Amino acid sequence: MAAPDDDDAFRWDGDDDPTLSVASETVASSAAVAAPDPEPAPIADEAPEEPVGIGNVALVAYGVLGGVYALWTAGWIIGALRLKDRIEGLSGSVADFMFQGSMILAILAPAVWFLVSLLGTRGKQAWQRFLWIGIGVFVLIPWPFVMVGVVGQ
């Protein structure tokens, strides 16, 4: 059997009880104190607007392009290793220091280009950011991987 207090929730009785209404006094007193201005005065030094977040399409596009850059990095790693083996196999010598240094820079280039494109175009419009990221997709194609391939023949 339910207590009488539990049954009060199912009825409208007692809604006019003054002990239950605390908000009505604060609303009435705050309305009397703070009347809104009909026309607010323009403020010369307004706070800058908050930047608008990127949309879902842009976020997915950044993810896809980031994946392309990750594949380019993997392509440069595989291509550099295959090219190094091919140079050493054909000439019988060890690949020199300059070749190894340039291959390390080539492996790092896609990640560096992607980060610099994102950070360098932070205050610019979205199309400029996508332009620079798109240019990098074509400029940084892993040519050793494309020319030599995975098999290295």
Query: Using CA atoms, how far apart are residues 33 and 66, in angstroms rounded to an integer?
Result: 56
What is the predicted pLDDT for the residue at 33?
A: 54
- The domain segmentation of the chain, as residue ranges, is 56-148
What is the predicted pLDDT for the residue at 109?
A: 93
pLDDT of residue 101 exceeding 60, the answer is yes
Vertex 34 angle, CA 32 and 36, to 5°: 115
CA-to-CA separations, 70 to 64, 85, 92, in angstroms, rounded: 10, 23, 32
| Proportion of the chain above pLDDT 90, given as a percent | 26
Per residue in 17-53, pLDDT (tens digit) is 666 666 655 555 555 555 555 666 556 566 566 556 6
Contacts 24+ apart (CB under 8 A), 75-78: 75/141, 75/142, 75/145, 75/146, 76/103, 76/106, 76/107, 76/109, 76/110, 76/142, 76/144, 76/145, 77/107, 78/142, 78/145, 78/150
Mean residue pLDDT across the chain: 77
pLDDT of residue 6 exceeding 60, the answer is yes
Pair 84, 103: CB distance under 8 Å: yes
Mean pLDDT of 122-133: 90
Pair 65, 114: CB distance under 8 Å: yes
Give the 3-state secondary structure of residue 113: helix
